[in-house]
């Protein structure tokens, strides 16, 4: 009969330890989830700031030097010897 009480008592202790571990894991999951969403939000903000700093296609076009095109007839091109 004493063996049954020992088994039942150890079962209760094991259940309480598992419950404490599960609660600790749930709290850790909540913290990690909050950190994930905060990091994702910050990443979005930084991405928008970088995009705002980057030059627009019109600015890139204006900063390029103008290409000067000239026509050279083939008769004027000398052949290499």
Sole residue written with tokens 């903000």: 45
For residue 69 the two structure tokens come to 């095109």
E strand or H helix at 81: none
Phi/psi at 10 (5° precision):
-70, -30
pLDDT at 55: 79
DSSP-derived letter for residue 73 is -
- SS3 assignment, position 79: coil
- Please write the tens of the pLDDT for every residue from 38-74: 999 999 999 999 888 887 788 888 888 887 888 888 8
Higher pLDDT, 74 or 26: 26
**Position 81 confidence tier, pLDDT thresholds 50, 70, 90:** low
Query: Does this model's pTM top 0.75?
Result: no
Q: Is the pLDDT of residue 75 over 90?
A: no
Q: Where is pLDDT greater, at 24 or 75?
A: 24
């Amino acid at each position: 009969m004493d063996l049954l009480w020992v088994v039942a008592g150890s079962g209760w202790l094991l259940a309480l330890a598992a419950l404490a571990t599960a609660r600790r894991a749930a709290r850790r999951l909540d913290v990690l989830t909050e950190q994930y969403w905060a990091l994702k939000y910050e990443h979005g903000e930084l991405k928008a700031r970088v995009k705002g700093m980057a030059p627009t296609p019109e600015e890139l076009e204006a900063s390029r030097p103008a290409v000067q095109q000239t026509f050279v007839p083939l008769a004027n091109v000398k052949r290499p010897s």
